[in-house]
Amino acid sequence: MNVKEEFKPYDTAEYLETPEDMAGYLDACLEEDSGDGALVRKALGNIARAYGMTQIAKDSGLGRESLYKALSTNGNPEFATIMKVIKALGLKLHASTA
């Protein structure tokens, strides 16, 4: 009997179920980012989708479509946008020494 397996693309957002998951993921991406911010943008986009992009747009005062664009791989959001998204997600950035 031939069984056809179906696969769907991996989506990080599906695995970000708790605030702790989201914070840990963002921390890891902040640590691993190459310095261009691409990994952090992608992480914030994944977290926002897991949380609910519409809710993030509402809580941040930003447009949903502009959030998708800003947090995309090719996006280039202003730092103020990043901070609004982080606040809307209920997350905080912290600095520490290496």
Place of tokens 């190459």: 34
Q: Is 7 part of a structural domain of the chain? A: no
- Structural domain includes residue 72: yes
Asked if residue 42 is part of any domain, the answer here is yes
Angle at 48 between CA 47 and CA 52, to 5 degrees: 120
Residue 10 falls inside a structural domain: no
- Residue 33 located in a structural domain: yes
The gap from C-alpha 76 to its chain's centroid, in whole angstroms, comes to: 14
DSSP state of 72: S
Q: How many domains does the chain have?
A: 1
Residue 35 lies in a domain: yes
pTM for the predicted model, two decimal places: 0.86
Domain that residue 27 falls in:
19-88
16-63 residue pLDDT tens: 999 999 999 999 999 999 999 899 999 999 999 999 999 999 999 999
pLDDT surpasses 90 at 94: no
Whether residue 48 is contained in a domain is answered as yes
